[in-house]
Amino acid sequence: MNIIVAGGDGFCGWPTALYLSKQGHDVSILDNEVRRKIDDELHSNSVTPISSLEERVDKWKELTGKEIRTYIGDLNHYDFLREVLKKEQPDAFVHFAEQRSAPYSMIDREHAVYTQTNNVVGNLNVLYGIREIVPDCHLIKLGTMGEYGTPNIPIEEGFIEIEHKGRKDVLPYPKQPGSFYHLSKVHDSHNIMFACKIWGIRATDLNQGIVYGLETDETKMDPLLTNRLDYDDVYGTALNRFIIQSTIGHDLTVYGQGGQTRGFLNIKDTVRCIEIAAENPADKGEFRVFNQFTEEFSVLDLAKLVQKVAKEEGFGTDIAHLENPRVELEDHFFQAENTKLKDLGLEPHLLTEDVVRDILKAVVDHKDRVIKENVLPQVSWT
């Protein structure tokens, strides 16, 4: 299968491209490398040193004999995207290529506008490109569980049956996004659903939970293939951020009470979910939604787990409850369905103490790269 991985230089995209290539698919990466530039903007970095995209794909070919073609450019430049689609004629288009940080979108007006313009317009270009160039291509779009918010009823996979005043219908599940980033994903979902309806595009919207972990079997093959690992308040996700804080002797920074509960999954499951979606494509004209997570945890539960493992490894650390910079419920009901990917063959890598220990040991060698002033939250929703 010919597969384009847009955003293939990023935290989820890079290991996905390698995994799909190893599985025998013909893979190309489309990326504008903006995530590397944002590191410079934020005066931050990846804990793990990451090689250039060119060095990465060259090493992959040296180790495996498999070529991953690269196209450096922006989805917001439609002429560029059209030429890539014409050349590759993909069977599937995996779309990771969006600004993925809620805090980044909340820095100020300019960052909110950038996030929504980049994400929504880029996604619209992909929809038009598929319609014009490769109408049978399957769009596999990375959404987010954050589209749903934290409703006081169970979260279904994309759609919910409603009975109202004696009539029934199956409607898109209500969305209560918590940032301008999450709002951009909601707009994407609406645009994709509409495009499927009017043009007959086939699409899978993967509402992904919070991803933790660092390496996959493929990224561990050589240091040049290592994945990035973020720890700062803008791009660092909860579990990874806590693990890195524990290795530098910093308190684990829990926002508010820590009762915020979310869906989580291992990076190894992210790459497998993409493969499952690609090998089981949506029907023509179908817009389907999979909730892509494997377990639910509160932020405080994760902090306590990391604290326990870190102490066993000789890193004593405390849990600090900080004033929450976000506007969100800290004590709430959370129950979400996640059966569709499991029904298609996903066998989850569940979070255990050993998994946390493996991630911790992997980052210890690079803890001197941590810029400590970036650990504390600096972006406020209000």
* Amino acid 246: pLDDT: 97
Tokens of 217: 């079997």
The mean per-residue pLDDT over the stretch 29-50 comes to 97
* Amino acid 299: pLDDT: 98
* Amino acid 29: pLDDT: 99
> What is the three-class DSSP state of 94?
strand
What are the tens digits of pLDDT across the range 163-207? Answer: 999 999 999 999 999 999 999 999 999 999 999 999 999 999 999
User: What domains can you pick out in the chain, each with its CATH number?
Assistant: 2-374 (3.40.50.720)
CA distance linking residue 202 with residue 195, whole number of Å: 9
* Amino acid 209: pLDDT: 98
**What single string gives the DSSP state of each residue in 200-215?**
--EEEEEEE-EEE---
Residue linked to tokens 């498999």 = 66
What are the tens digits of pLDDT across the range 276-331? Answer: 999 999 999 999 999 999 999 999 999 999 999 999 999 999 999 999 999 999 99
What are the tens digits of pLDDT across the range 106-126? Answer: 999 999 999 999 999 999 999
Report which of 294, 290, 272, 276 is spatially closest to residue 350, judged by C-alpha positions: 294
What are the tens digits of pLDDT across the range 212-234? Answer: 999 999 999 999 999 999 999 99
CA distance linking residue 307 with residue 299, whole number of Å: 12
Residue 85 binned pLDDT confidence (cut-offs 50, 70, 90) = very high
* Amino acid 361: pLDDT: 94
* Residues that are catalytic: 144, 181, 185
Mean pLDDT, the chain, rounded, equals 97
CA distance linking residue 317 with residue 310, whole number of Å: 7
What are the tens digits of pLDDT across the range 5-28? Answer: 999 999 999 999 999 999 999 999
CA distance linking residue 243 with residue 225, whole number of Å: 21
* Amino acid 165: pLDDT: 98
CA distance linking residue 96 with residue 111, whole number of Å: 19
Longest dimension (CA), the chain: 64
* Amino acid 46: pLDDT: 97
Compute the residue count for the chain: 382
What are the tens digits of pLDDT across the range 255-274? Answer: 999 999 999 999 999 999 99
Handedness of CA 145, 150, 151, 152 (dihedral sign): positive
* Amino acid 237: pLDDT: 92
